Structure 1
């Protein structure tokens, strides 16, 4: 356990066994230090011996109410006088007999035993005069002879009977039995105790019950009454939704109560699991803020599943367990929990050791809870975004990162102080940027990081370094491409020259061959010349062979260059595909930016901007997501709402001179708005026009519109005739444009 003013270290949960050797100022505190003028610690051993020891019976338990016995000298002299004419002959069982002991008297019939508390027994019965079921509470035999107990019993009935509130059990009657034993009759509630449902109820259900109980406590405080024993066991949940605060046996008047002297002198008491520290000392320091502490204890149990003064290692006997709990109460040691959050912070503040550090009234405590409920949507959005972030981290999906970012940003718009959304948005941008870096999308990654965020600086440096390396590589590739291109041109030129030369040499060889043939014919005459010519021809053939070999070499070079050109073309295709991928990413990012612009257009009540942006993606189903569908639905509903209608607006029309606008709604009314003053009038003669505008949204043709009007038996003939006269005009006017704006620049259209 830890003092409620001290926040346990999240990494090292604190044990919740009371340890008086640990100084309170050595524990890290999450709230301002308490006012040193308030000292809750007491000499517990002495107090137990003098005040509490006698209250610890055999059936004592930390969850049961403990009442310190009062002195019999506490007389009944100032108590409101009871009428003993109510049931002069009635004798009620006191829990010691059998069903045969039940006696049916004049005023009430007694049925069965419902339960018993510290000093009273409760029976089910029936009030004969009103013929209604009641619960009848009588004193136990061992306490009924004590004047102090009788006065406490009377005070409980008078206090409860004076609090007429829907969440406080009503008292019907107070009187004496024939043997002067006191009783009072109250409403019999059919239901269960909240303690049996608090663990299975949802948080929202428990918060609703707590706020209703707080209403009852605030009402009692306004009547100068303090309950002192608020706990789930004292709250009944009826079968029909009732929430009733029961058991006002420890209730006491405040110091400023106008008739404080009519009530018994209060004695110390409470339930150890829930008690405020000042309740240990007696009643002098107990005030309305003690009930605030008890409400905070119930809230703590709703969140953590255990009462605030629960022990981790309780002693073996119940008596020692109660003593240990009271010791924890005296030091305000609160059970350790790993739970965190705004709601737990509210509970801890309500349970502050010093009453001055708590909420100073029940309404202030309720306002804090309602403030949490107003943030609930933002908290839920942040929680869902956090789940998406886990998915995005696992699969590295850009779209999941974008949706996660959108979710956190929306949560912050709902509640800018949402710490989880703030941290989640930072983490999302960081992880998104890191994923982009791993995939080589450096510019996109850099755009996601905040240069003012120290946590992003290292990743920004890594991305910027990678961008410099990428740009350097791209420059080298461009230079290599230029050199390769120049080399290709040189090779092509050489190949061309070689081809021309080869062709020329081939022609020369043919000429030489012709000369050789001619030389053969003249062989006899010019043998020597023929031999020389043949030799020349042979030389030419050798030259041709050499030229052919050179041509083959040139051809191989050309083939190699062709392969390089094909590889360069493949790389160019890859660059084009990458450029297309980046274009799609940019297009997707543009879509999410437009979704944010849609939200701004909605906030600015700019329907034309809203429709214009929606139109960009109406045919782009590959880009559209749930955000577009959401704003598309919103553009068709709430943007066209006017405050004066009870139903949703289905269409509007305007006069030719632009001075009036007619709006029609599903409530079958038409209101005419003066655009100069923006006031609306409802005119009966526009009923038929409103009918047409309302029907036009649900039919497909003018003939079907006329048929629907004709078949409506609720319309008068005058309205039908007027509707038929205007039907064709209204069918043609399906789109309304150029609506004149008021001087403020906006048509009032609340969400």
Structure 2
């Protein structure tokens, strides 16, 4: 068991992400690149088993060929101190198994199934069967702000190539989780892509009800129910769901693969159509993308919270009528200027006063040698 700070195959361990049937997955830092990866290590007790080693290595080889946005990416694999490891994409978020089914809405459950179906059909087109589809292997990546969540399918640990003569489960052990395993997988019959569809339908049943289709008290009871009993009525646990959705689940979980849908995407589309065929609260959350995936939109705010009450449009005020121009009024005739009348001064003694002097008792003109208000005394008369 590695601890925080330990170095394995050049990767610095941060913490444990989870445990599986074949090993432990750690969050580790890449030795050369500035990124975090999911480092999956095969248990040492299984490393001695040749079949377990081949299965572990086959997972890396198969997933490395599947480049799809809804499938986890594999970066590298190797052997360090006789312990096999796989370096995979780290998906920040959670898985469907840890989701609260009381909060998980039906439209969101259908959206998760639709994106998982896209990943499965892509793998099936490449000849790869997952064979262990369950809520714990469906990751919900933490979305950026303003973007919908991304569903990522992981853990192809028991995947196999379709139509191969030998499979990695030839030892006769049941490697898939019994609660979601198809009948043909339990009996060891040849498998095809419709076995993954059966497991995906059981996963949808759990997301809608919070219970697996066959919750038996022991593995033998679960196996017997998968082989002989039909899926319980969906409305017995969720009366608010439309009855047509029960029909879709019954077909996807048929005991004979020939009675199921042709592909996982066809099953997801049928579930979507059945859910939205009947009016329900999920209608207000529906938002379909160009790829046909149903997203859950945020509930809109009430209009009065963010908009003003509408007011009737007011007529555009017309301009005032222009006042007609008035005729030009001539100014009243002015009195013609009268010629200046000279007022003769009273006679003096015959001698004009000198410049800068005035008659006794008067004020000298401004700018003279005497300041204003100065009284000029009389001057004595000089002889000629």
Query: Any conservation in 2 of the 1:300–1:344 contact (CA below 8 Å)?
Result: no
Larger radius of gyration: 2
Report what 2:99 is aligned to: 197
> How far does residue 220 in structure 1 lie from its aligned partner after superposition?
0.6
> How far does residue 243 in structure 1 lie from its aligned partner after superposition?
1.1
**Does structure 1 residue 104 correspond to structure 2 residue 4?**
no
Query: Any conservation in 1 of the 2:214–2:225 contact (CA below 8 Å)?
Result: yes
Matches of 2:9 and 2:129, distance apart in 1: 35
TM-score by length of 1: 0.35
Query: Any conservation in 1 of the 2:42–2:83 contact (CA below 8 Å)?
Result: yes
Query: Any conservation in 1 of the 2:109–2:208 contact (CA below 8 Å)?
Result: no
Q: Report Cα offsets for 1:530-558 as digits up to 9, x if no partner.
A: xxxxxxxxxxxxxxxxxxxxxxxxxxxxx
Distance 1:330 1:372, change over 3 A: closer
> How far does residue 289 in structure 1 lie from its aligned partner after superposition?
0.8
**Does structure 1 residue 700 correspond to structure 2 residue 315?**
yes
1:346 aligned counterpart, secondary structure: helix
Query: Any conservation in 2 of the 1:157–1:174 contact (CA below 8 Å)?
Result: yes
Report what 2:87 is aligned to: 185
Query: Any conservation in 2 of the 1:161–1:170 contact (CA below 8 Å)?
Result: yes
Distance 1:365 1:336, change over 3 A: closer
1:230-249 equivalences under 5 Å are 230-240=133-143, 241-249=149-157
Distance 1:106 1:288, change over 3 A: closer
> How far does residue 380 in structure 1 lie from its aligned partner after superposition?
1.1
Report what 2:79 is aligned to: 176
Report what 1:334 is aligned to: 231
Matches of 1:170 and 1:145, distance apart in 2: 27
Matches of 2:8 and 2:208, distance apart in 1: 48
Matches of 2:280 and 2:317, distance apart in 1: 45
> How far does residue 225 in structure 1 lie from its aligned partner after superposition?
0.8
Aligned residue pairs, count: 278
Pairing partner for 1:279 from 185, 188, 195: 185
Matches of 1:703 and 1:134, distance apart in 2: 71
Query: Any conservation in 1 of the 2:44–2:83 contact (CA below 8 Å)?
Result: no
Query: Any conservation in 1 of the 2:27–2:37 contact (CA below 8 Å)?
Result: yes
Structure 1: 5+ residue runs without aligned partners? 1-94, 315-320, 385-696, 705-751
Pairing partner for 2:258 from 339, 356, 364: 356
Q: Report Cα offsets for 1:367-417 as digits up to 9, x if no partner.
A: 3124325xx2x5218999xxxxxxxxxxxxxxxxxxxxxxxxxxxxxxxxx
1:334 aligned counterpart, secondary structure: coil
Query: Any conservation in 2 of the 1:218–1:363 contact (CA below 8 Å)?
Result: yes
> How far does residue 168 in structure 1 lie from its aligned partner after superposition?
0.8
2:77 aligned counterpart, secondary structure: strand
Matches of 2:88 and 2:280, distance apart in 1: 46
Query: Any conservation in 2 of the 1:303–1:344 contact (CA below 8 Å)?
Result: no
1:138 aligned counterpart, secondary structure: strand
Pairing partner for 1:254 from 135, 156, 162: 162
Report what 2:363 is aligned to: none
Matches of 2:114 and 2:213, distance apart in 1: 19
Pairing partner for 2:201 from 274, 296, 303: 296
TM-score by length of 2: 0.66
Structure 2: 5+ residue runs without aligned partners? 144-148, 284-311, 320-384
> How far does residue 104 in structure 1 lie from its aligned partner after superposition?
2.4
Q: Report Cα offsets for 1:9-52 as digits up to 9, x if no partner.
A: xxxxxxxxxxxxxxxxxxxxxxxxxxxxxxxxxxxxxxxxxxxx
Query: Any conservation in 1 of the 2:104–2:207 contact (CA below 8 Å)?
Result: no
Larger relative CO (CA 8 A, sep 6+): 1 or 2? 2
> How far does residue 334 in structure 1 lie from its aligned partner after superposition?
3.1
Pairing partner for 1:306 from 202, 208, 211: 211
Distance 1:336 1:347, change over 3 A: closer
Matches of 1:104 and 1:383, distance apart in 2: 48
RMSD, aligned CA: 2.8
> How far does residue 359 in structure 1 lie from its aligned partner after superposition?
0.8
Distance 1:105 1:226, change over 3 A: closer
